Every structure is written in C-alpha cells, then in structure tokens.
Amino acid sequence: MEKGKIIILSGPSGSGKTTLHQKLLQSPAFKGKLVKSLSATTRLPRVGEKNGRDYLFLSKEDFLDKQKRGEFLEFMQVFENYYGTPKDKVDAALKKGKSVLLCIDVKGAKVVSSKYPDAVKVFVKTPTLADLKKRLSKRGTESSKDLELRFKFAKAELKEAKHYHHVVVNGSLAHAYRDLARILNKEIFKKAVLAKSAAKKST
Ligand code: 5GP
C-alpha cells in the first residue's frame, strides 16, 4: 500500500490557498488519494461557508473541551479565534494510505512538522504585498479592523516562507495550481510531471 503523507499548505489570508486546495481536492489526479483535514474553529462562518464542509464551527466552550481531551493534533489562536486540526481524521486517513491536506497557519505547521517530520510544507504567497492587500479588500468578507489585523499577520507569516519545502507564487491561479499540482505529484506519488512544453516536444 502507498504510504500517505501530510501536506501542509500555509500562506497569508488572501493568498489564494483556499481556492488552490479546493481545486486540488476536485482534481481527478488526486481523487481518493488526498483528503482534506477539516479544521475546527470558533470564528463565525462567512457568507457561503458551511459547517462540516469548510470548517467545523464550534463554540469556544466546545472547542476548549475538545482541546482539553487532547483531540487536536495542533491548535492555535489566530485572529482572536481558535483553530485546530482534529487528530483522529488525520491518523485514520494516513492509516488507509491516503495523504492529508492541512490548510493551517505557520505556527500550527511547526507543531505538525515536529510530530510528523516527513510532512511536506508548501507556502502560498502573492507576488507582492500590494497584491495581497488588493485581494483581501476585494474579497469583502472582513471588516476594516479585521483586514488590518490580517494584513499585519500576513507580513509576519511571510517571514516564515523560508522554512517551507516549497513556495508557490500565486500571480495567476492557473500557474499557481499547475506548480502546486506538480509539487504534490512529486511528493505523493514520487512522480515528476513533465512540463507541457516538454511533453509536446516528445509527441
Ligand atoms: P480563515 O479565518 O481565513 O479561514 O483562516 C485564518 C487562518 O487560520 C489561516 O491562515 C488558516 O490557514 C488558519 N487555519 C485554519 N485552520 C487552522 C487549523 O486547524 N490550525 C491552525 N493552526 N491554523 C488554521
């Protein structure tokens, strides 16, 4: 049986990592091989977000109860809210030989790496900070106070990119997705994917 791996995706809010990870999970190439770790959070759902699909939305009390029972692989307080990775789902998927995708912040990534040293860490960022600011404001899901907080946090997170195995620059979604899919193909299946141009030349 193939051995599953933990794939960690981090990057500032607005870098496009949510869209990228959703695309990965929908791709036939990774179907049945890659599963998402559904994080728990105490933050309120955004418009369009669904409990059990995007996050497990919990009250602070329920979250802290789970934390006390040791149910999280890691948990962090990010932007005044708690976020955590439920441990049971990750272990169950790995046992079945599946890889697990964790979309978590840089501090959580450090904790997971210390527990699973062969976890692969991928950092997603925008080409510039100005691009990030533009994307965050365009999203329109946060208050201006929250936006400022996320932007400040992003600057600190970007400093951590150098500790990641791979950095994907999301200037265009198509290119970033192609780069990310190549990384995962290599890391999960040990398969180097030919660049389109190279593949064309050989046909
Ligand atoms: P958002 O509120 O925008 O969905 O997420 C805010 C930040 O929390 C993002 O950087 C996201 O990756 C991170 N995050 C989401 N789930 C988890 C988790 O389970 N653990 C940790 N440490 N961070 C998380």
Share of the chain above pLDDT 70, in %: 92
Q: What is the pTM of this model?
A: 0.89
| pLDDT of 192 strictly over 60 | no
Query: What pairing do the DSSP bridges indicate for beta strands 6-10 and 99-103?
Result: parallel
198: its two tokens:
């190279």
Q: How far is the CA of 51 from the centre of ligand 1 (A)?
A: 15
Give CA angle at 102 (101, 106), nearest 5°.
Answer: 140
Query: Which residue owns the Cα nearest ligand 1 atom 23?
Result: 104
Residue 18 carries which side chain, given as an amino acid letter?
Answer: T
Mean pLDDT of the chain: 90
Helix, strand or coil, per DSSP, at residue 47? coil
The conformation of residue 51, written as its DSSP 8-state character, comes to: B
| Sequence-distant (≥ 6) Cβ neighbours of residue 95 within 8 angstroms | none
How far, in Å, CA of 122 to CA of 135, rounded?
20
- pLDDT bracket for residue 97 (50, 70, 90): very high
Instruction: Tell me the per-residue pLDDT of 110-131, one tens digit each, with 9 for 90 and over.
Output: 999 999 999 999 999 999 999 9
Instruction: Tell me the per-residue pLDDT of 138-179, one tens digit each, with 9 for 90 and over.
Output: 877 777 888 888 888 899 999 999 999 999 999 999 999 999
State whether the beta carbon of 102 lies less than 6 angstroms from ligand 1.
no
Helical pair 144-158 and 129-139, crossing angle rounded to 10 deg? 150
Report whether 123 contacts 179 (CB < 8 A): no
Q: How far is the CA of 187 from the centre of ligand 1 (A)?
A: 23
State whether the beta carbon of 78 lies less than 6 angstroms from ligand 1.
yes
Region 6-37+98-202: CATH code: 3.40.50.300
The predicted structure's pLDDT at residue 148: 85
How far, in Å, CA of 9 to CA of 3, rounded?
19
Query: For the chain, what is the total number of helices (H) and then of strands (E)?
Result: 8, 9
| pLDDT of 191 strictly over 80 | no
Share of the chain above pLDDT 90, in %: 76
| pLDDT of 58 strictly over 70 | yes
Residue 41 carries which side chain, given as an amino acid letter?
Answer: T
